[in-house]
Structure 1
Amino acid sequence: MTGLTLRNTFKLALDDLLEAVEREIARPLREPFAELDPTRRPHEHDTRLLFVDELLGHLGWKLGVGGNVLEEARLQAKTTRFMDYVGVVNITGKPLLLVEAKAWDKPAITPRGGGEYGSEANLLAAAIQHIYEGKAKDMSPVIGEWDDYLRQVCGYVRTLKERYGHDLPRAAIISGEWMVVFSKPVETFLKAARSDDISVFTRPQFKDKAKEIFQLLHRSALTEDPPIPIRPAQLRQYLSVGDVAGVFQGLHVHFERTGSSLFVRRPRILIYPALFVVRKDEIIFTVIDGDTPIELDYRKDDDGNETLVPHLERIQAQSGALIETCESELSGSLSIDDLSAFPGFCNEGLEKSLIGELELADEWLVATGRATHFLLAEPRTSECQFHTWAKCGTRAAMQSAISARTTAPRVFFVDSQRHHCAHQVVQDRREGRCLIHPIDSRTCCQACLFLDHCWTDEEKAALPCSR
């Protein structure tokens, strides 16, 4: 949709929402098992269900499974706190919008002692400056509840900045009766509060101020979600060479179960070479040229030995061709960056990963940096006996060797193959740390690109294959 269409759609939806809210508030029997109280207003949970959830949906945000809003997002600082809503960029998880919901009957912005500040925005700016200067709560220009609200948002903005490195673009505190939006929360809470960066709306104003609310809070105003993937020829629609902050090689990986349901299903792994182009605003563009996958598998060399080299060479060749095509489309050279500089995909909360989960199960984006695959042709440790179950002795995993590929557990490389690990101690230690565990739970760590990302030097030295 165009911006004009989106704005008109939001205005109509907001009108309908406000009418529905009016009907709900007027309904006397909202709680049929409680005593009748026609003056009661919804508490915070009801406010979220009745108004905030719906408002965010109309503003282009998607709640729930597969959505782009984290609800009760955990924030680790000196204590663990939970943010009501955090709207994020798809795939990368960069925070875009923080929303704190308050109960319907919470007081509007109120000065302490009836002070005069000219406007509510001026009052809030003075109260935030009061907090910034480290002054006591009981001396704040606003009443205690509002001092608490502002300190809460300030703490979230500070933690996102200092712990996670995110400059939050927008923050809001919303009740059904009022809404406060901070258009520059980092500037407002961590530097100098300006009333021009604070917008205050009351429920009677929501309808007439729909355009302003849209411009402040609609997802389209805060980010651009490119399709995944894009073709090389589409790059120019989103950026120029001068907009590029980083370029990383990578893969799109698809895991599938093959074979009849009457028999044991076997895994098949399909690989699509990809290029992750990071724009200066940290948006990651996934570029894939063509829809023909390369199947992961061994081939026999001239001596009849299994080798992964032909597969890796095909990936490398197509990755190189992809880079050249993208350079041609952008009319400039692209320098491939080290994996350590990759900003990361977001799979859960605000933590980052080199593996990005896509919406459908068994599909991932894998960043590899200057490498072209997450697998090596040979393990780093030569002559390791632990690829073979029988040679692991009492440390052998499971009750017997895995001689055929399985989907449960996920084992692609099987017993005695050089990319297979049969050691139980290694398997136990990999739990919760192995990046490619969802793809293949028994890949030899020494044959994986991510060895140094999953293990510290001390932990690597303690692995059985390192002795």
Structure 2
Amino acid sequence: MNRLELLNLFKQGLGDLLEAVERELAKPQRDPFTEVDPNRRPHEHDTRRLFVDELLKHLGWRLGLGGNVLEEARLQADTTKFMDYVGVTDEAGSPLLLVEAKAWEKPAIAARGGGQFSSEAALVVAAIQHIRDGKAAGTSPISPEWDAYLRQVHGYVRTLSEGYHHTLPRAVVISGEWLVVFADPVETFLGTARPDEIAIFTRGQFKDRAEEIFGLLHRSALTQDAPIPLRPAQIRQFIDLDSVSGAFHGVHVHYERSGSMLFARRPRILLYPALFVARKDGAVFTVIARDEHVELDYTRDDEGTDTLTPHLESVRARSADLLAACAAELQGELTPSELGDFPGFPNGGMAKALVRDLPEANEWLVATGSAEHYLLAEPRVQDCRFHSWAECGPDAALQSAISVRSLEPRAFFTDTQQHHCAHQGVLDRRHGRCLIQAVDSRTCCQACVYLDHCWTAAERAALPCGQ
């Protein structure tokens, strides 16, 4: 949609929301377990549920699983703090919008002791400078509640900037009755605060000033989201050759539960070769050339041995074509970077990961770096006896060997196959660290490209593989 369409949708949604709020506030009793109080206003949880959540949705933000808003986002500084909402970029997980919600009846901006200022924004500027000068809360020019709010936001902005190296574009403090927007929070709280960088709205102004709110807070005003995946011809819309920090092979993994419900269903794994192109600001763009998959499976060679080589060669050939197509679009050369240089996918907070869950179940993006696949043709350790359940003795997993592919536990490779692990001790120790656990919980670590990322050198040396 273009800006006019998005703006119109926002105005319509905001109007509907304000009408719904009026109806809710008119109810004399919303809590059946207390006495009727017609003057009662929602507390913070209700304010968030009834108003803030809905306002963010109308502003183009997605809450909940698979969304681009983190709720109660953890921020580690001198103490652990939790930010009410943080809107983030899809590509890098960088913060775009900080929202601190307050209970409905919390007071609007007011000077302490009847002080006089040219505007509410000028009062806020004076209060922020008071905080930056290290002066006590009790002598702030602003009311005690607002001194606390400003100190809270100041701490968040400073920690994001100094501790996480993020430049936050917007910060908001909101109740149901008022909205305060900091249009440049880093400059306001850490540089030079100016009244014209602070926008203040009351509920009665929300509808008339809807376009201003849209321009400040709508997601489309703060970032341009890239679709997942991009086609090679789309990549130059988001990145140019000079801004590329690295290109990384990988795959999109689609896991299926195949077969009739009347019988035992079996796993089927489809792989789509992908290229993850990283921009110098940490954003990662996913490029997939076409929707043709490569099914994961062994092929039996002339000697009657199961081998993964034909599958890997098919993925490798398509990955090379994809890399060449992206390089041609960017009009330069792209050389696959090592996995250790991958900046990471957003991972539910400020953390980054090598594997990204997609909104649909059993769908992942898997970065593999200079390798084209997360699996090797064969394990690093040759002739390891722990591929066989019978050879594991007292260390054998479960009560019997996994002789057919299984959904529970997730086991694509089966007993005695060289990509299968049957050692219970290894399986126990890899729990919580294996990056492909959801795809196959029994893959041999020595046959996976993530070995060095999941285990330290000392831990790798202590593995029983090959002993």
Distance 1:431 1:405 in 2: 20
**Alignment-derived partner of residue 251 in structure 2:** 251
Matched, 1:415 2:446: no
Query: Residues of 2 paired with 1:104 and 1:33: CA distance?
Result: 20
Asked if the contact 1:91/1:347 (under 8 Å) is kept, the reply is: no
Q: Following the alignment from structure 2 to structure 1, what is the Cα–Cα distance between the partners of residues 444 and 333? A: 36
In the TM superposition, residue 379 of structure 1 has moved relative to its aligned partner by 1.5
Structure 1 partner of 2:79? 79
Structure 2 Cα separation of the partners of residues 361 and 292 of structure 1:
20
Q: TM-score, length-normalised on structure 1?
A: 0.94
Q: 1:213-252 residue pairs with structure 2 within 5 A? A: 213-252=213-252
Query: Cα deviations across residues 66-89 of structure 1 (Å, max 9, x unaligned)?
Result: 322222223333433322112222
Give the superposition deviation at 1:453. Answer: 1.2
Tell me which residue corresponds to 1:58. 58
Residue 326 and residue 76 in structure 1: after superposition, are their counterparts in 2 closer, same or farther (change >3 A)? same
Partner of 2:167, secondary structure, is coil
Letter matched to residue 204 of structure 2? P
Instruction: Out of 415-424 and 59-68, give the one that drifted further.
Output: 59-68
Q: Give the match for residue 275 of structure 2.
A: 275
Please tell me the residue identity of whatever aligns with 1:440: D
Q: The residue matched to 2:15 in structure 1 has which SS?
A: helix
Offset of 1:33 from its aligned partner? 4.4
Alpha-carbon separation, structure 1, partners of 2:110 and 2:190 = 23
Quote how far apart the aligned CAs of 1:402 are: 1.1
How far the C-alpha of 1:277 sits from its partner, in A, is: 1.7
State whether residues 382 and 466 of structure 2, in contact with CA within 8 Å, keep that contact through their aligned partners in structure 1.
Answer: no
3-state SS, counterpart of residue 12 of structure 2: helix
Q: How far 1:163 sits from its partner (Å)? A: 4.0
Equivalent in the alignment of 1:332: 332
Which residue of the partner structure matches residue 464 of structure 1? Answer: 464
Equivalent position of 1:447 in the other structure: 447
SS of the residue corresponding to residue 57 of structure 2 reads helix
More deviation in 448-457 or 431-440? 448-457
Determine the structure 1 residue equivalent to 2:112.
112
Q: Which runs of 4+ in 1 moved over 6 A?
A: none
> Aligned partners of 1:460, 1:186: CA distance in 2, in Å?
44
Query: Structure 1: how far apart are the matches of 2:246 and 2:135?
Result: 43
The one-letter amino acid paired with 2:97 is L
Distance in 2 (CA, whole Å) between partners of 1:466 and 1:129 is: 65
Relative to structure 1, the CA distance from residue 164 to residue 406 in structure 2 (aligned partners, 3 Å threshold; closer, same or farther) is farther
Please state how far the C-alpha of 1:286 moved relative to its aligned partner.
1.2
Asked if structure 2 preserves the Cα contact closer than 8 Å seen for 1:253 and 1:270, the reply is yes
Distance 2:264 2:309 in 1: 29
* Paired position in structure 2 for 1:296: 296
Please say if residues 91 and 285 of structure 2, whose CA atoms lie closer than 8 Å, have aligned partners that are also in contact: no
Structure 1 residue 466, shift from structure 2 partner: 7.2
Q: CA deviation at 1:387?
A: 1.4
Q: Using the alignment, how far apart are the partners of 2:261 and 2:161 within structure 1?
A: 50
Q: Say if 1:246 and 1:279, in contact at 8 Å, map to a contact too.
A: yes
Q: Report the alpha carbon displacement of residue 26 of structure 1 after superposing the two structures with TM.
A: 3.1
- In the TM superposition, residue 188 of structure 1 has moved relative to its aligned partner by 2.5
Q: Which moved more, 1:265-274 or 1:201-210?
A: 201-210
Gaps of 5+ in 2: none
**Per-residue Cα deviation, 1:106-155 (whole angstroms, up to 9, x for no partner):** 11112223333322222222222322333222222222211211222222
2:91, 2:226 within 8 Å by CA — same for their partners in 1? Answer: no
Shift, 1:201, TM fit = 1.3
Q: Which residue of structure 1 aligns with residue 371 of structure 2?
A: 371
Q: SS at 2:465's partner residue? A: helix
Shift of 1:280: 4.1
Question: Compared with structure 1, are the counterparts of its residues 193 and 342 closer, same or farther at alpha carbon in structure 2 (3 Å cutoff)?
Answer: farther
Shift of 1:62: 1.8
Counterpart of 1:386 in structure 2: which amino acid?
Answer: F
Query: Residues 56-455 of structure 1 correspond to what in structure 2 (within 5 A)?
Result: 56-90=56-90, 92-455=92-455
**CA 1:280/1:454 → structure 2, altered by over 3 Å: closer, same or farther?**
same
After TM superposition, the structure 1 stretch with the greater mean CA deviation from structure 2, 2-11 or 155-164, is: 155-164
The separation in 1 between residues aligned to 2:126 and 2:341, in whole angstroms, is: 40
Q: Secondary structure at the match of 1:86?
A: strand
**Contact between 1:460 and 1:466, CA under 8 Å: does it hold in 2?**
no
* Structure 1 stretch displaced more, 215-224 or 330-339: 330-339
Deviates more, 1:70-79 or 1:317-326: 70-79
The amino acid of 2:429's aligned partner reads: R
| Alignment RMSD | 2.0
Contact preservation (8 Å) 2:28, 2:37:
yes
The 1:395/1:78 distance shift into structure 2, 3 A limit, reads farther
Distance in structure 1 (CA, Å) of the matches to 2:290 and 2:316: 15
Amino acid at match of 1:42: P
- Cα separation, partners in 2 of 1:394 and 1:78, compared to 1, 3 Å: farther
- Residues 19-71 of structure 1: CA distance to partner in whole angstroms, max 9, x if unpaired? 33233323333345433333332211221122111111110112223322222
Gaps of 5+ in 1: none
> For residues 62 and 319 of structure 1, do their structure 2 counterparts lie closer, same or farther at Cα, with a shift above 3 Å needed?
same
Q: Is the 8 A contact 2:387 2:415 kept in 1?
A: yes
Write the letter of the residue equivalent to 1:10.
F
What is the alpha-carbon distance in structure 1 between the residues aligned to residue 239 and residue 91 of structure 2?
18
Contact 1:277 1:286 in 2 (8 A): yes
User: What is the CA-CA distance between 1:281 and the residue it aligns to?
Assistant: 4.4
How far apart, in 2, do the equivalents of 1:346 and 1:193 lie? 31
Q: Secondary structure at the match of 2:65?
A: coil
- Structure-2 separation of matches of 1:129 and 1:206: 28
Supply the distance in 1 between the matched residues of 2:143 and 2:458 (Cα, whole angstroms).
Answer: 53
When normalised by structure 2's length, the TM-score is: 0.94
Aligned counterparts of 1:192 and 1:21: Cα–Cα separation in 2: 37
- Distance in 1 (CA, whole Å) between partners of 2:115 and 2:57 is 37
Identity of aligned residues (%): 66
Counterpart amino acid of residue 193 in structure 1: A
State the AA in 2 paired with 1:118. Answer: S
What CA distance in whole angstroms lies between the structure 1 residues aligned with 2:408 and 2:162?
41
Distance 2:160 2:18 in 1: 33
Give the match for residue 13 of structure 1.
13
